Amino acid sequence: MQIRGRMKFFTYYPLWAAAVLLYGCSGAGKSTVAVVNPDEEPLHYREEKHLRDVKQLSFGGNNAEAYWSPDGTKLIFQSDNKNWTQGCDQIFVLDVFGAADSTRRQLVSTGKGRTTCSYFMPDSRRIVYASTHLAMDSCPPVPVRESGRYVWPIYETYDIFETDLTDGYQKRLTDVPGYDAEAVVSPQGDKIIFTSTRSGDLDLWIMNLDGSGLTQLTNTLGYDGGATFSPDGKQIVWRASRPSSIEEIKKYRELLSQHLVEPTNLEIYVANADGSDARRLTQLGNANWAPCFDPTGKKVLFSSNHKSSIGFPFNIFMINTDGTGLEQVTFDSQFDSFPMFSPDGKYLAWCSNRHNGRTLDTNIFIANWAP
């Protein structure tokens, strides 16, 4: 789910959008832009020293959580583009090195219900994603925000499915009541990590590729989600909330009983792939989410609004796995998130509100990575 909202059961862009609706765009600062015409919207800011040869791969709608195929040629992502869908997220595949044209995409989900959190299997032929399509053909309702609170729906009708891109064969991997989503496959090609409410809380679980061998990885009260593996598959990184006061715990449990979560106070955690040696990596405040390891496995990139007092902008930051060396990577005035490295470590993909014609569109970008 996202806010790597991987709750990816809907997408992370909604948190940013809510902030814009509440506060408008005037509070965001502007960076110096690497463009010839000062009136153009930037693809690349001068401060973004780790990014080279930035390219935009999608155009229009909200496109989020783009993840690479193991062979490094494709990205799988979710989109609510109304020209392609009935208005809620479905899963698509793009050819990364083809023409930068979002009409050249393949729908790989059913087109029914709402989907989130897609990922390639090790063979680059099969995929996993979460979907509500067994419960209904239409989009499930979006919760109404009350008293200015921003919440994510934890749809109980989400289950994780495997689909073969060659013949469309689909297999259901989870089948217990409650939320199962945010699935990611280990680079070792043997495990899937995901978030589930089957314990009564939003916890991380791990299973074999066929859905067997279920093991619970987290058991501390709070939302644990959006996990990804290190390049060697030996560690995981994820976002988590940790309500501690009586009032925070009460609020968290009340929302969870309504199948909701409030994702405005999240920090980044790391652990061994079996859940051992879990520790908090950031202590920044606000929402820190959508983490991934860099190609060395010694740094973590993530999205954060910790510098903001009004909810945005979100930008991508990088930190050492010992918690030192915090560095800002992107400098958009609104939203940058969902960083993910190509398998060979040469490219970074992410999603941004930059260069969108001054709309609310969130698009997919890639760049050569300069360590």
Mind listing the domains of the chain with CATH numbers?
Answer: 5-369 (2.120.10.30)
Angstrom CA distances, 9 to 65, 71, 157, 195, stand at 11, 26, 10, 10
Question: In the chain, which ranges are continuous DSSP H helix?
Answer: 5-8, 13-23, 246-257
Pick the closest to residue 95 from 123, 71, 119 (CA basis): 71
CB atoms within 10 A of CB 132: 23
What does the pLDDT read at residue 98?
Answer: 77
Q: Give the predicted TM-score (pTM) of the model.
A: 0.89
What does the pLDDT read at residue 249?
Answer: 97
Cβ atoms of 281 and 288 closer than 8 Å = no
Beta partners for 68?
A: 75
Angstrom CA distances, 332 to 304, 317, 360, stand at 12, 12, 14
Running DSSP on this structure, what letter comes out for residue 32?
-
- CA–CA separation, 137 vs 114, rounded Å? 9
What does the pLDDT read at residue 12?
Answer: 39
What does the pLDDT read at residue 68?
Answer: 97
What does the pLDDT read at residue 204?
Answer: 98
> DSSP letter string over 269-315?
EEEETTS-S-EE-----SBEEEEEE-TTSSEEEEEE-TT-SSS--BE
Beta partners for 315?
A: 304
What does the pLDDT read at residue 100?
Answer: 55
What is the total residue count of the chain? 371
Peptide bond into 42 cis (omega under 30): no
Residues 6+ apart with CB under 8 A from 358: 41
Q: Which residues of the chain fall below pLDDT 70? A: 1-40, 99-104, 145-148
Instruction: Summarize pLDDT for 67-78 with one digit per residue, the tens.
Output: 999 999 999 999
What does the pLDDT read at residue 41?
Answer: 77
